[in-house]
Amino acid sequence: MLFRSVWREICDWVASHAPADACFLTPRGAASFTWWTGRREIVGWKNSPQDARSLVEWRRRFIDCFSRDGSFANLERSTAALGADRMRLVAERYGATHAIVPVDVPGVESLPFERLHANRGYAVYRLR
């Protein structure tokens, strides 16, 4: 229940404070982000498409956002675990303006982005 409460609080904050046209880099396990916030995200596990072409694009986004080795075998929880340069690359490639990062990801305190809000579980960053 703790996960849901801190996740829901971060989503409520995004819904109230982020620009309506913002696009987010969200953690891999993010659930119902677009539903609760009305904002776009680069890729979401539960938002997998049903047609072949879109499924290939969805998989590419997952690999770009969460994989160190180009496979689905060892995905990270957050792009932040892959470093700030990877976050910048993904943001530029897919048009992300913001990120939500779990606060327990190693190196989160040294991310070079503006931290807009945080709770016990997540922090919201402006990427550009």
Q: In this predicted model, what pLDDT tens digit does every residue of 42-74 receive, in sequence order?
A: 999 887 788 999 999 999 999 999 999 999 998
- 43 is written with which tokens? 């890729």
**What pLDDT shows up at residue 47?**
79
Cα four-point dihedral sign 17, 31, 124, 22: negative
Rounded Cα–Cα distance for residues 81 and 65 (Å): 10
**What pLDDT shows up at residue 70?**
94
**What pLDDT shows up at residue 1?**
42
Is it the case that residue 3 has pLDDT exceeding 70? no
Q: Say if pTM beats, i.e. exceeds, 0.85.
A: yes
Average pLDDT of the residues of the chain: 94
